[in-house]
Amino acid sequence: MIRTAHRIRQVRLTLAGLVAGALLVTGCTMPAFAPRTEDSSAAAPGNAPAWRACPEVADELVGRGAPGMRYECARIAVPRNWGTGTGATTGPGSGETFEIALLRARSSKQRDRIGSLVINPGGPGGSGVDTAVYLSFGPSFGGLPTAVTDRFDIVGFDPRGVSRSSPVKCISDADLDASFGYDPDPRSQQSFDGYQALNRRIGQGCGDRYGDQLPLYGTEQAARDMDAVRAAVGDDKLTYLGYSYGTLLGATYAQLYPQRVRALVLDGAVDPQQQLIAGSESQARGFERAFGNFDRWCAANAGRCPIAPDARGAVTSAIDKAKVSPVRGAGGREATSGWVFYAVISSLYTESGWEELARAIDRLDDGDPTDVFKLADSYAGRGEDGRYTNLFDANLAVNCADETEKPSVDQIRQLQSQWRQKYPLFGPALAVGMFGCVEWPGGRDPYPTGRADGAPPIVVVGTTGDPATPYEQTARLAAMLGVGRVLTWEGEGHTAYPQTSCITEAVDAYLISLTVPREGLRCPAR
């Protein structure tokens, strides 16, 4: 597989899962100051941005640009605090700005231009700039259909705190390595306490660095930034494609600016009314269900699955062995139980990852952890040099700014045990993962959870085998908005568009002609 297609797959795999924030348990040892990355080239709030050619972005990400595509970049300044909430107009960040980085890809074949299609890949923490580049490569590489790129500019933006947009960074690479390698089910009291202590350390470290600015990374502030993006690209109304967490961002926009919505596609729906405990259990259930589908696939496809007929047993055994005797790889790196667990998580985001997981577990049993590290690193955003992007820094900052529920330590310990019985492989990790936001400092800035009265129909896409945003959340999001229309893909993996002709045709017709999919439309897996 060429690099372009591989990287597009990684967009779906690493940038869209809220499970990232739920499982992050790192420490933080960064300097105690709030970084400022603003640039004088950023357009002031309300001013038109200065676009410049930027083919180097595609060159850096993929090695080349897509044929017939032109890439332009700009930066806009937005208020750090949009003046929402009690005392916000005089609170943290008043009068200061964040920079938002934009990239637009425009096809040389574009005709009868409708406007811009604004993209968010989810996370939170995913780079829309990167994603716009990947999706510009067209359907042959898993990108957007030419029917869409012929009518729209594809515009990606990095939300506040993410990648090129005034990035949050308060977690060292060493701490990220330690967190991903940690036992996903710390049973002993000592190990459990150590898990909590890691979360307390990261909270203290990030609080020391960013202080009262932390709530400013929440979803409502970012949704207001999106309206500045809409204005910057010159559209009267927003046309938007949001994946996973991007559905929450889009739903929040629709509530704040219902009259400025042209068309929203929310793929991989997040239920905004679901709080921390319910959301964590929902993901445990979703991953357990997806893993069961993988297990059954293995049993029915032994020729492609070297750990058949008992894939569940093989994976469970690999994690258990790694707890006491991890396999060493190149440079002495150890494939601990945490790394094996994240290889499993990674593989479930796409059905094509199932065969990779089976091969990785088989090779691990033979003493070679290379493929386990490959899968886990692609999820974690870890480069071959051991360095990380700021995906997980931003993920934690956004998730915890949004979250108001704080279970007690005793509750988490009880849920760890209870969910181990209900969701053996994923339940304990999702339970103890709640420590990330429980130990997070600073205030909270919860997003709205109501109707989008006055907005046109919004298409909400769900995948029946989705592990990270389980299918049950699709109808809940559509119902909450009041104008949602559910479109179902009976497939596997995280998110659906544009993976099959049925889904693609329905979404394209909506984006281009505003033709809403018929009620109850279900698309087959293939």
- Active site (catalytic) residues: 244, 466, 494
Two tokens at 257?
Answer: 């600016």
Residue type, 241: L
In a 3-state reduction of DSSP, which class is residue 57? helix
CB atoms closer than 10 angstroms to residue 483: 19
Nearest-10 Cα torsion for 294, 296, 302, 306:
40
* Residue carrying the six token digits 């929310």: 266
Closest by alpha carbon to 255, among 218, 219, 215?
219
The tally of CA atoms less than 13 A away on the side-chain side of residue 210 is 30
Decide: residue 394, CB within 10 A, 0-12 exposed, 13-18 middle, 19+ buried: buried
The DSSP H or E segment spanning 509 is helix 501-513
Helices 337-347 and 353-365 cross at an angle (nearest 10°) of 160
Q: Which two tokens stand for residue 449?
A: 């959870």
- Separation of alpha carbons 281 and 292, rounded Å: 16
Residue 48, CB-side half-sphere exposure with 13 Å CA sphere: 6
Contact predicate 119/128, CB 8 Å: yes
CA 221/CA 161 separation, integer angstroms = 11
H helices of 381-484, where? 391-402, 409-422, 427-432, 435-438, 472-481
Of 426, 424, 422, 414, the C-alpha closest to 192 is 414
